[in-house]
Structure 1
Amino acid sequence: MPAPSLSLIVSTLRSAGCVFAEDEAELLLTAATTPAELTAMVERRAAGLPLEHVLGWAEFCGLRVAVDPRVFVPRRRTEFLARQAIELAQAAGRPGRPAVVVDLCCGSGALGAAVATAVPDIELHAADIEAAAVRCARRNLADLGGHVHQGDLFEPLPPHLMGRVDVLIANVPYVPSRDVELLPAEARVHEPRVALDGGADGLEVMRRVTAAAPGWLAPGGSLLVETSGRQAPHAVRTFTGNGLHAREASCEELYATVVIGTAPLP
């Protein structure tokens, strides 16, 4: 079987609605090891499967992160959340006392991997309710010393972490339930709804995390969540209502908004 040409792949992808057909075609050509595999990959992408699921990886903060089918694909805008978490983890570490970092709703573990790569001397834990995500995160974090747990939010975390977490990353779902059906098919069909649906106003999971976070944070520890610019003021009020000092950070280039809440010092 001859391999499809670059021009044919581009044409096929463009007809399927892929905006960056040329770039995607180059990636598929590089990833495939046989003409048959290349043809199958092009067909899967043209049928609507996310490119990252076709390739088996996503680029995130300069890393190649494994992404399995039915696992949430890390977004480029979330690199801003990673950068904020890295800065806080670097500041929290002390000689003989590595910073404790927890990645809730971890999905593939991309955020934890980015922090652990930039700040190797940390104690890293990650958790997700989805079994497929946990399996994927374990692959991505194994060589970085990460511990991955399966369960709902804080429930599966080791109790000894209570009051010790320096950086708590919670990339919670924040799409309002009524808007999930408006998302691109790549997300709503091929990613778990639990990773997208934030409840009636998009903030239900964030409120649950924020209510419990003070019991897990070390004095001066920080909780970080990604949200939309419209939701950020509500998130800030929720943080302050739970005793955290809150601030909003944004990155226009990535259209990203992060709310950071810090536990008071004694």
Structure 2
Amino acid sequence: MGSRATPRPELVGRLRAAGCVFAEDEAVLLEAAAAAGAELDGLVRQRVSGLPLEHVLGWAEFCGLRILVDPRVFVPRRRTEYLVKCAARLLSARPAPRWPVVVDLCCGSGAVGAALAAAAGPLELHAADVDPAAAACARRNLLPLGGEVHEGDLFDPLPERLRGRVDLVAVNAPYVPSGMIGTMPPEARLHEPRVSLDGGPDGLELQRRIAAAAPVWLAPGGHLLIETSRRQAPQTVKILAGSGLSGRVFGSRKLDATVVLAGVPAAKEG
């Protein structure tokens, strides 16, 4: 294993003074991204101004992949890797007479879909987001993988042919209560679109709409996985129950991540 690059002390100092907790790691990435000294100074000035590191670099690391991230597009969080892990485990347990149909809903940059294609492919992969900037970014990440990206509200833009055929829906919909947006780190509340953060008064508005529509789209034996918070998870289970879906809560303390899994009964034989 090669030795870790040592960043310039003055660069680390500038980043640390701006409040960057992982100043040394960020300095290494910024130096690697810059082709010349003037370019490096420009990147550092953007970061010091508060622009998220991922937006400065143009990519985010997620599940070992480099996910392209455009300005004003939600940056995938490390906790969401647990959603991918849970989804990949379900897909790997499926019999394989055909490629499973997977939907990355509220896809943002398409990070979840890209990670699932890498971990559990081959898939028939679809992604959807209401934000045009997010949909455009997701196309950059998913079209090279054979995925399709649809712009619109939740399930609405999906092709009609997918009704009753989707094997797995992975959802990282906004679940921050509206009144809590102001308490989020400035990288999020100032540089990511509110539509990717705001889950309504109690944070569960989109979960209600997703739960109501999901049974129409899921195939027999299909699954819906929703990232939520540990505090909200019991209410998420109740929301799913209201749509006839039985939810179970899974969590990772290491990633501070919570996922609720719901399934549609498999079709009876004979």
Give the match for residue 149 of structure 1: 150
Bigger Cα displacement from structure 2, 83-92 vs 200-209: 83-92
Structure-to-structure mapping, 1:16-95, within 5 angstroms: 16-95=18-97
Alignment check: 8 A CA contact 1:105 1:171 kept:
yes
Over the matched positions of the two proteins, sequence identity in percent amounts to 61
Distance 2:44 2:95 in 1: 45
- Following superposition, the deviation at residue 170 of structure 1 comes to 1.2
CA deviation map 1:92-144 (0-9, x unaligned): 3523x110000010000000000011122110000001111111110101221
Structure-to-structure mapping, 1:98-117, within 5 angstroms: 98-117=99-118
Distance 1:118 1:93 in 2: 16
User: Structure 1 unaligned runs (5+)?
Assistant: none
Distance 1:10 1:176 in 2: 35
Distance 1:137 1:88 in 2: 23
1:141 partner letter: L
Alignment check: 8 A CA contact 1:89 1:101 kept:
no
Partner SS for 2:261? strand
Distance 1:228 1:11 in 2: 35
- Following superposition, the deviation at residue 87 of structure 1 comes to 1.3
Distance 1:79 1:68 in 2: 20
1:252 partner letter: R
Equivalenced residue count is 261
Alignment check: 8 A CA contact 1:245 1:264 kept:
no
Structure-to-structure mapping, 1:1-266, within 5 angstroms: 6-95=8-97, 97-266=98-267
- Following superposition, the deviation at residue 191 of structure 1 comes to 0.3
1:66 partner letter: L
- Following superposition, the deviation at residue 265 of structure 1 comes to 2.4
- RMSD, aligned α-carbons: 0.9
Bigger Cα displacement from structure 2, 239-248 vs 99-108: 239-248
TM-score, length-scaled by structure 2: 0.95
Partner SS for 1:92? coil
Distance 1:155 1:230 in 2: 29
User: Structure 2 unaligned runs (5+)?
Assistant: 1-6
